[in-house]
């Protein structure tokens, strides 16, 4: 910042415009008039970054005033042009924010929302499960030849805190039992639980039937397409429960008439699990034990290396401290593990281990410190990019160009 200096007692014959950064206003004039400054002198505020010009030479009796470098008219035009260019971006952001407000204030149009939501699939992203084999085997056996196979419709909730691995666990179950079902459906529900929207998404994943009536409602079409077929429906990440909406959604599935049909619901809300289940108990996903979370952590940090600590023995004691802070959370292990694998040095690992973020953990299920650490260690330009992503509502499907334009605007 250029240093501002106050210059006083300037020769009365030197015009104010000789100083390009001088500022004179009615308030300045009042200050001069009310002070004891001689009439032959004035006070001026001069920016030290701009050297004063030489006094204008008089030609005869006329004095030529230099042209101001700051053209207010031109600057006003430029500002108007910039505002006009920003209106398009503002309109885009306003549309996104209005979508979020509408979802909170009323039941949105399912046709519009379905276009904005991402298309989720049961595709397995994490190829190996850690510490869940016995739990998975029990559910798979129940679906294929056990207690669930003889019931007409079973609603099985899988409940657990965020980041514990409910979706990954369900993806592995889905993959293992899909051959037992003629129709398989996977829907990501999230915050927007409305029967009409979900019925439309479900309908899009069920093959058409040649005998179906074109004038039927969505619920009637679901019933017609599933007639005499065994189906598996996964409702992933359910946050809310509305009794009327739930009954409306489930009604066509109850009329199918075949045995062994399954609805698997994943949620972090125990109250939701208790309201939708048709079994005695929900499947509760616990945090991983010490050995399992360490194995998962090693996989994210070292990949397929055999005996990784032998090659990096200086990191072992620091790694144990970090794993203890993960509280058995697979998501925390994934996030912190990928952060640490970028620099396999004791200095870097020690900084992560001794970070103040760990002190902000409020419970064993709190994984925010681990997620915040991964953000803190991002390069600044990527932090800006992530902040741009936060402008969009949850589950809003945006294009790369949209994000790039907003990022450039920073």
Low-confidence ranges of the chain (pLDDT < 70): 1-70, 94-121, 362-365, 395, 410
pLDDT at res. 63: 59
**What was the pLDDT predicted at 45?**
41
Domain extents in the chain: 1-70, 72-116, 133-284, 290-377
pLDDT of residue 137: 94
Instruction: Determine the pLDDT at residue 407.
Output: 72
CA angle 14, 19, 24 (to 5 degrees): 90
How far is it, in rounded angstroms, from Cα 275 to Cα 323? Answer: 35
Q: Which residue has the tokens 């056996």?
A: 141
| Distance from C-alpha of 93 to C-alpha of 406, rounded to nearest angstrom | 9
Confidence (pLDDT) at 21: 45
pLDDT at position 64: 62
How far apart CA 184 and CA 230 sit, in angstroms, is: 9
pLDDT of residue 66: 61
pLDDT, tens digit, for every residue of 202-259?
999 999 888 888 788 999 999 999 988 999 999 999 988 889 999 999 999 999 888 9
- What's the pLDDT score for residue 98? 61
| pLDDT at position 362 | 67
pLDDT of 65: 62
Q: What span, in angstroms and rounded, lies between the C-alpha atoms of 92 and 90?
A: 5
Alpha-helix runs per DSSP H in 50-125? 72-105, 110-116
Task: For residue 163, count other CB atoms closer than 10 A to its CB.
Answer: 23
What is the assigned CATH class of domain 133-284? alpha beta
pLDDT of residue 169: 95
What was the pLDDT predicted at 296?
93
**pLDDT of res. 277:** 93
């Amino acid at each position: 910042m250029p240093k501002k200096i106050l210059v006083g007692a300037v020769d009365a014959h030197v015009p104010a415009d000789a100083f390009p950064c001088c500022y004179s206003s009615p308030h300045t004039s009042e200050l001069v008039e009310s002070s004891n400054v001689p009439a032959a002198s004035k006070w001026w505020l001069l920016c030290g970054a701009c050297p004063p010009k030489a006094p204008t030479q008089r030609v005869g009796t006329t004095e030529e005033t230099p042209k101001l470098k700051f053209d207010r008219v031109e600057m006003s035009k430029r500002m108007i042009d910039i505002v006009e260019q920003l209106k398009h971006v503002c309109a885009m952001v306003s549309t996104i924010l209005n979508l979020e407000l509408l979802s909170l204030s009323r039941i949105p149009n399912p046709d519009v929302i379905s276009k904005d939501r991402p298309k989720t699939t049961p595709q397995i992203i994490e190829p190996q499960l850690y510490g869940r084999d016995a739990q998975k085997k029990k559910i798979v056996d129940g679906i294929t030849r056990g207690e669930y196979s003889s019931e007409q419709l079973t609603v099985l909730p899988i409940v657990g805190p965020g980041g514990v691995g409910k979706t990954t666990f369900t993806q592995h179950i889905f993959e293992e039992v899909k051959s037992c079902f003629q129709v398989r459906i996977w829907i990501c529900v999230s915050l927007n639980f409305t029967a009409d929207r979900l019925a439309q998404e479900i309908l899009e994943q069920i093959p058409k039937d040649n005998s179906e009536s074109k004038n039927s409602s969505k619920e009637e079409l679901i019933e017609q397409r599933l007639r005499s077929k065994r189906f598996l429906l996964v409702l992933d990440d359910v946050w809310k429960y509305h009794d009327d909406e739930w009954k409306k959604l489930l009604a066509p599935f109850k009329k199918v008439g075949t045995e062994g049909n399954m609805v698997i619901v994943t949620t972090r809300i125990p109250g939701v699990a208790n309201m939708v289940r048709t079994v005695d108990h929900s499947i509760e996903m616990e945090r991983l034990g010490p050995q399992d979370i360490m194995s998962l952590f090693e996989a994210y940090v070292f990949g397929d290396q055999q005996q990784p600590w032998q090659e990096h023995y200086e990191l072992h004691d620091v790694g144990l401290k970090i794993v203890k802070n993960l509280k058995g959370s697979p998501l925390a292990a994934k996030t912190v593990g990928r952060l640490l694998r970028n620099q396999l040095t004791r200095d870097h690992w020690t900084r992560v281990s001794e970070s103040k973020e760990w002190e902000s953990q409020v419970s064993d299920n709190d994984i925010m410190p681990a997620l915040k650490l991964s953000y803190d260690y991002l390069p600044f330009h990527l932090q800006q990019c992530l902040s741009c992503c936060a402008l969009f509502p949850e589950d809003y499907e945006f294009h790369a160009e949209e994000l790039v334009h907003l990022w450039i605007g920073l």
